[in-house]
Amino acid sequence: MHCNWMLSFVVGLLLNASVESKRRGRGHTVQLVRNSNREDSLKTLQFETTALQSKFRLRVSRTKANVTAQSEPQLPLGNAYNTEYYGEIQIGSSQKFKVLFDTASSNLWVPSIQCPPDNCTRLHRYNSSLSSSHVANGKPFQIQYATRNNQPTILKGFLSADNVTLAGLSIKRQTFAEITSLPPGIFSRANFDGIFGLGLKEIAIDGIVPPIYNLFQQGLISQPTFSIYLNRTNTGVVDSNGGKLILGPSDQTLYSGCMTYVPLSKIGYWQLTVGSIVMGNDKELCSKCEAIVDSGTSLIVAPRAALKSINTILGLTENDKRDGVYTVACSRISSLPKITLNIGRRDFVLSPADYVIQYKNVCVSGFTSLEGLGKELTDEQGTEYDNLWVLGLVFMGPYYIEFDIEYKRIGLASKM
């Protein structure tokens, strides 16, 4: 169900935008248009139109691209152990890469043919000599990630441009990084070759226009939004039906009920203010909590004090800690409390089955903290991220999430 259908209809009518009405035209919207051929009903609608238009000016004035795509392009995702979601892209006319889709960074990189094979073991490497559409750039590039042990990992390389194709859409001259220097083994167990940043341009390194922006600017998608639908697996294996990355308008067949939209609280990450986070029925872990939605993080990263409370409630101690995560007896899952995040005045509930990741007989709590690293993580304005929640895949799993670059907002709905 698309909950602002009236508005959608209005938009289509006013702008006479075929794409807009096509994408909005599912379900009862189109029927309403067709049935309202009597003058008086049209008038009523137009009256409402004016009211709605001024109230929702932003929506009505959404920037339009000259779109050639016929339906919402979707990229199937692979899911490895519920901790990594990735999909295939092509660079140039033939070179294919698996990339992790990361909403908390805004650059695309793949390993370069110049990365020594021992350092880039098992990874596909981009060979620009094999691509006639390659455009040399050569400017040095560097990106840093916090990896599982909270060690900063620095990747180095240089910039290149080429056509980048995903979900059948070919972006012309996308600038990306070829990584030449990689600590050995860092991604050798990963199921992906590179990373595809889905973050805002404000955090793109060197101001490089992120691919998702180019998709829109080159008229390949009708609006600058994308959505993520994750399929969780309880078999703890690699699943090729891992979900979808939807480019452009949301796919209404993948969610149910209303989409709840919340504005970004800060432009940079996909950051929002969560009204409250409550464990069980009444243990409030925080109110007006700042959080980022991050598909590049497997778990939910909580501020240290909150993690302590969570672990107390879950009955976990430091003895349960293995490699930075807390293990839980799988038999206890059904007796654990739910956790409720109030976002946009609506409750988004995670059941223990949502927040405990199961690998055969081993169960891992979906909560961790950025020990040691939190204090050093500051952005350009000097904001400390010590109190930031990172809503990773554990949070995203049960929901359909839309990311809107133009309106700087996030939409959340229950998965169909």
- Burial (0-12, 13-18, 19+ Cβ within 10 Å), 50: exposed
Place of tokens 């209303």: 258
Give the CA count within 13 Å in the CB-facing half-sphere of 16. Answer: 0
Q: Which residue, 232 or 409, is less far from ligand NAG as judged by CB?
A: 232
Of 28, 42, 116, 238, which one interacts with ligand NAG (CB under 6 A)? 116
Of 53, 90, 153, 181, which one interacts with ligand NAG (CB under 6 A)? 181
Other beta carbons within 10 angstroms of residue 200's beta carbon come to: 21
Would you say 333 and 354 are in contact if contact means Cβ atoms under 8 Å apart?
no
Of 61, 144, 151, 241, which one interacts with ligand NAG (CB under 6 A)? 241
* Per CB under 6 A, 189 contacts ligand NAG: no
CA distance 210 to 207: 9
* Residue 6: both structure tokens together: 């009236």
Which of 106, 144, 100, 412 has the alpha carbon at shortest distance from 256?
412
Would you say 180 and 156 are in contact if contact means Cβ atoms under 8 Å apart?
yes
Shortest distance in whole angstroms from residue 179 CB to ligand NAG: 9
Shortest distance in whole angstroms from residue 155 CB to ligand NAG: 9
User: Catalytic: which of 102, 162, 193, 239?
Assistant: 102
Would you say 94 and 132 are in contact if contact means Cβ atoms under 8 Å apart?
no
Q: Check if 102 is active-site.
A: yes
* Per CB under 6 A, 90 contacts ligand NAG: no
Q: Count the residues in the chain.
A: 416
3-state secondary structure (DSSP) of residue 206 = helix
Q: Which residue, 229 or 403, is less far from ligand NAG as judged by CB?
A: 229
Shortest distance in whole angstroms from residue 273 CB to ligand NAG: 29
Q: Could you tell me where the DSSP H helices lie in 315-373? A: 352-355
CA distance 120 to 99: 15
Q: Which residue, 243 or 344, is less far from ligand NAG as judged by CB?
A: 243
Q: Which residue, 119 or 223, is less far from ligand NAG as judged by CB?
A: 119
Of 70, 129, 319, 331, which one interacts with ligand NAG (CB under 6 A)? 129
Segment interacting with ligand NAG (CB under 6 A) among 2-10, 166-174, 354-362, 397-405 = 166-174
* Per CB under 6 A, 170 contacts ligand NAG: yes
Would you say 95 and 165 are in contact if contact means Cβ atoms under 8 Å apart?
no
Of 184, 263, 280, 324, which one interacts with ligand NAG (CB under 6 A)? 184
CA distance 339 to 342: 10
* Per CB under 6 A, 133 contacts ligand NAG: yes
* Residue 212: both structure tokens together: 């998702």
CA distance 232 to 82: 6
Segment interacting with ligand NAG (CB under 6 A) among 139-147, 238-246, 350-358, 378-386 = 238-246
Which of 212, 340, 352, 367 has the alpha carbon at shortest distance from 275?
340
User: Catalytic: which of 162, 193, 294, 404?
Assistant: 294
Would you say 32 and 184 are in contact if contact means Cβ atoms under 8 Å apart?
no
Q: Which residue, 4 or 170, is less far from ligand NAG as judged by CB?
A: 170
Shortest distance in whole angstroms from residue 127 CB to ligand NAG: 4
Sheet containing strand 325-328, strands side by side: 321-322, 325-328, 362-365, 356-359
Q: x/- contact string, 215-234, with ligand NAG (CB under 6 A)? A: --------------x-x---
Segment interacting with ligand NAG (CB under 6 A) among 24-32, 128-136, 279-287, 295-303 = 128-136
Segment interacting with ligand NAG (CB under 6 A) among 140-148, 167-175, 245-253, 347-355 = 167-175
Q: Check if 294 is active-site.
A: yes
* Per CB under 6 A, 389 contacts ligand NAG: no
To the nearest 10°, report the CA torsion of 156, 388, 188, 178. -30
Q: Which residues are catalytic?
A: 102, 294
Contact footprint for ligand NAG (CB under 6 A): 66, 113, 116, 119, 127, 129-130, 133, 163, 170, 172-173, 180-182, 184, 229, 231, 241, 243-244
